[in-house]
Amino acid sequence: MEYTTLGDTGMTVSRICLGCMSFGSNDYRDWVLDEEDSRPIIERAIDLGINFFDTANVYSNGESERVLGNVLDDYERDEQVIATKGYGEMDEDNPNASGLSRKAIEQELSNSLDRLGVDTVDLYQTHRWDYDTPIEQTLRALDDAVRRNQVRYVGTSSQWAHQFADALHTSDRLGLERFQTMQNHYNLAYREEEREMLPLCEREGIGVIPWSPLARGYLTRPHEELAETVRGEYMENSQFAERIATYRANGGEEINERVEELAAEKDVTMAQISLAWLLHQDAVDAPIVGTTSVEHLEDAVEALDIDLSDSDLEYLEEPYQPVEINGHD
């Protein structure tokens, strides 16, 4: 395993972060694993040297946090870096069980800590931008959570670069904890983050931990075969269909074909080529990789050993053309 410092936090994390959306309850998604089937994957991740785990309160309505906490309870807590997120709706009958107001943050963070079985979470992230709550109020609530020792670092997720710049400026102006990480939508088939967000993160010392590094499976198999997997079929016929259409658009199918070609040339998988490309991007600290099998987890870790030349990178990138923003409003 390779390790890196997460942005300017000084905290060391594995270069692969295990995304835990796949763990919890299949009542949430058909392809989600219960605790019994999730445990071997999380345990193998630790065996492989992964020390960075990302979940969220909305994943399986809290069950993902519970599963992760139960498994990590068998290990040395100080050796693990746990990240979770808040913002999404947790109770349709309670309008204050979502968003980033002080009330929502305090109660949902407390619930997350209970499910994870910890007193302090290493990284607490806002899952999206809350248009109904002033950013100053959100930042003050997060700053207080750090001072109460419930949270060590705060981060955020997909939003416009101007919003992120405003949040950083507000923290600096008021002397509040800054967002230290950006969890954004970024992969070989979706590179709009390169225009403004990634340069901003590099300038400000922000740790970048992209979600969907394999484009919801689009970059793991020939594009015409995507619907042949349970998750792929779900993506093609769900609210995520628009995202898959974005990946296919404006050069996306040719990118997929070039990934397939280069994978065959190097005798590795398409997923490994796609992940290796992301690991070669200077702004990226640790892609968040979700999986439902030990085999795919091991493949992801092996991608760290794949060396892509400048000509390889250029060949993969060349067909890309701008697409509509996808992943936030």
CA angle 29, 35, 36 (to 5 degrees): 115
Identify the active-site residue in 28, 59, 87, 315.
59
Helix (H, G, I), strand (E, B) or coil at 4: strand
> Residue 59 catalytic?
yes
Structure tokens at 157: 């997720």
Cα–Cα distance measured from residue 120 to residue 133, given in angstroms and rounded to the nearest whole number? 25
Token duo for residue 137: 């109020």
CB 301 within 8 A of CB 231: no
What does the DSSP assignment read for 11-70? -EEESSEEE-TTBS-TTT-TT-B-HHHHHHHHHHHHHTT--EEE--TTGGGGHHHHHHHH
DSSP string, 63-131: HHHHHHHHHHTTS-GGG-EEEEEE-S-S-TT-TTSSSSSHHHHHHHHHHHHHHHT-S-EEEEEE-S--T
Q: Where are the beta strands (DSSP E) in 174-280?
A: 179-183, 207-208
Tell me the catalytic residues: 59
